[in-house]
Amino acid sequence: MMQMVNHANLIRLAGISIGADGDYTFLVYEFAEKGSLDKWLYQKPPSSLPSSSSSADTLSWNQRLGIAFDVANGLLYMHEHTQPSMVHGDVRARNILLTADFRARISNFSVADAAATSSDVFAFGLLVLELLSGRTAMEARVGAEIGMLWRDIRAVLEAGDKRDAKLRKWMDPALGDEYYLDAALSLAGMARACTEEDAARRPKMADVVFSLSMLVQPSPVGDAFEKLWQPSSEENIRIVNEVAAR
């Protein structure tokens, strides 16, 4: 399968090494200098990995936004530009590898299949929530209660006039005031849409990629598009009409 796909955001298979007696095989992939995303989100990166960012222990807002965009692009390629359509099936931070300039590569295709793409969309939504909060999608709390980010974000976005304050408190404190609140609300709204319990209501990766492409470029169009993912007081988030958006 890895020989059939070719995309900048999928880890590249460089070759195969087979032992002289044929009793073992290594798959050789391109080297991702910054390691896996989970090392940067949940703990300080290993001291052996030099950081090109001003802070050695966290990802910047722009880096997180770029990683989300890269992963979405990779999934879009798998879902819509391979025959048959492929589903990764295990999208999580430890399977996202980062290059020297913090570009994301999706790795570990051991469970990839031709299943329903909505499972990848849900997992991508969880990944976005982890990028925003700096926490795992499921984490233990006081009294061994398990908190789920995809449920927490619903309470945050439905908090009415307290929404903005609740979101700032919910965000990764390592980001400080580095991000624009509207952009954070947009990403949170996108993640909420991706993690809808009804799979039929989740967006397609094409819609997600288009939205993220607006967010990664600082322009008036991007500022206006951000609000389309934000929940209104009257109805749940609606996915942007694909024809109108394009």
CB proximity list for 143: less than 8 A, separation 6 or greater? none
Partners of residue 146 on adjacent β-strands: 140
The one-letter amino acid code at 14 reads A
| Beta bridge pairs of residue 240 | none
Rounded-to-integer distance, Cα 245 and Cα 79, Å? 20
DSSP state string for 86-141: -B-S---GGGEEE-TT--EEE---TT-BSS-THHHHHHHHHHHHHHHHSS-SEEE-
What are residue 35's phi and psi, to 5 degrees? 75, -160
Q: Are 67 and 131 in contact (CB under 8 A)?
A: yes
Any idea which residues carry the catalytic annotation? 90
